[in-house]
Amino acid sequence: MTDPGRERSDVLERLAQATTLLEQSLDVRLIPDSGANLAYALRGAREIYDVAAIQGGIINKNGKPQAVGPCIFGGDEDTARMVLTTMKFDPLMRCAAILRYSKNAMRVIESLLLECASFDRSQEPPGIRTMDWGVASCCKDGVPDVCYDYGGTGKEAVIRIFGEKPIDVTNNIIMISNRIISIEL
**What is the mean predicted confidence (pLDDT) over 11-15?**
97
What pTM, to 2 d.p., does this model score? 0.91
Going by pLDDT thresholds of 50, 70 and 90, the confidence category of residue 73 is very high
> What pLDDT, in 10s, does the model give residues 148-158?
988 777 788 99
Q: At what angle do helices 77-89 and 130-138 cross, to 10 degrees?
A: 30
- Across the chain, the runs of DSSP E, i.e. the strands, are 37-41, 51-54, 58-61, 64-67, 71-73, 95-100, 116-119, 146-149, 158-163
Domains of the chain, first to last: 4-180 (3.40.225.10)
Q: What is the pLDDT of residue 61?
A: 95
